[in-house]
Amino acid sequence: MVQISSLTQHISRLHPEKDAARLSLYNYLKNLCDPSRPVGAELINAFYTRALSFAHWQQHKAELFNEVEALLSHFQESTRAALDFSGLLRADQFQVIRAEKLAHVEPIVQRFMSARIAPNEKFRILRDGDFRIVVIVLKADQFLSVSTFDENLMLRNGELVPLNADQSLHYTADLQLHPQMIQHIEAGSHSFARFHVGVEGLRGVFVRGYTFQKFASLDGGGLTRYPLLFYPLKRLEQFFIDRGTDRTYIELTSGLEKALDLLGSGSPEGTRFAQAALERGRMAFEHIYADDKLLRLLITNLEKSLALAMNARPTAQSASRETEARQIIEPDGVDLLAKFNTASPETKDEPWPEIRNLPV
């Protein structure tokens, strides 16, 4: 069995940086694949379909296939490996089509999933706004898999199917990320994360662009260390985790309510606390809990209350007044602002993701 690591090493000696298609395959194998996985048609086909989700390779499809086929031929000749590429896709065997509306994709995903799930499994299709479809599969052991599909479709042998089905998260029956599964998620526009949950926390990589360039790593610790992963993952979890038990949601709404109480009581620290709470609330509403009525109401009320407080604020304060306003203490002696800034949906020891690091 020839492993991916052998093919990756072979391509590295051919100066992959000199050709975009060669570099794309090299980075894909290095960053998004298990090095011990066997080389075969299934692997290369997965690369083709993922690469063709980018407009660049849709426009340069022939160059992509020609270079990869040449690489594979050179690899076989150099290693004299007996590789089976009988099921390898050819550029003229299929067409990539981008649907104009998600409504056109939904029945295609429905047929696709119905043909692939086991008889004792159930699935549900949901729509995440106007840009993707979310499919939740409940397995016989009560574990979950959550997959996403976009508007890209493949027309082959007269049949339309989703171009990609490789972006999936896996959860245990208690809705924790499965520690024995590799997780794949779209982390942003043209970027992806591949990671797993280990004893030291999250481990994995972020890649972006049509050459699958690595631009960041997950090197341990909890989810809140990685805003690029935190927000897209929590957005998917809203589709199957009850907000009444979602610690992220509970903490967020509690913080907004606390900010309103502080402003209403005229607390000297209320304005600064409210600004931090409002920033987090807006980001969570936009990137996680889209169209949540309670969150929208709390944000709107806090915006109005904060505007009134800022307009009524004196233009000058004495130095002693500023010192006094630096800290507001709860009855139990806890610094409220510090508590809010260090609270976390996962643990009390990890801070929330820095919002300024989130991509636009």
CA 16 – CA 29 distance, rounded (Å): 12
Q: Which residues of 252-288 are buried (b: 16+ CB within 10 A; e: fewer)?
A: bbebbebbbebbeeebebbbbbbebbbebbebbbebb
pLDDT given for residue 331 in this prediction: 36
Q: Which residues 6+ apart lie within 8 Å of 231 measured at CB?
A: 283, 287, 288, 353, 358
pLDDT given for residue 209 in this prediction: 97
pLDDT given for residue 312 in this prediction: 75
Closest CA to 1 of 35, 47, 48: 35
pLDDT given for residue 261 in this prediction: 94
With beta carbons less than 8 A apart as the criterion, state whether 287 and 189 touch.
no
With beta carbons less than 8 A apart as the criterion, state whether 25 and 4 touch.
no
CA 179 – CA 140 distance, rounded (Å): 18
pLDDT given for residue 309 in this prediction: 86
Q: And the tokens for 83?
A: 């590789």
Could you read off the pLDDT tens digit of each residue along the chain, which spans 360 residues? 899 999 999 999 999 999 999 999 999 999 999 999 999 999 999 999 999 999 999 999 999 999 999 999 999 999 888 888 889 999 999 999 999 999 999 999 999 999 999 999 999 999 998 889 999 999 999 999 999 999 999 999 999 999 999 999 999 999 999 999 999 999 988 999 999 999 999 999 999 999 999 999 999 999 999 999 999 999 999 999 999 899 999 999 999 999 999 999 988 888 999 999 999 999 999 999 988 999 999 999 999 999 988 887 654 344 444 444 444 333 343 444 444 444 443 333 344 454 333 333
Q: Where are the domains of the chain?
A: 4-89, 97-235, 247-357
Tokens 């820095």 correspond to 354
End-to-end CA distance of the chain: 44
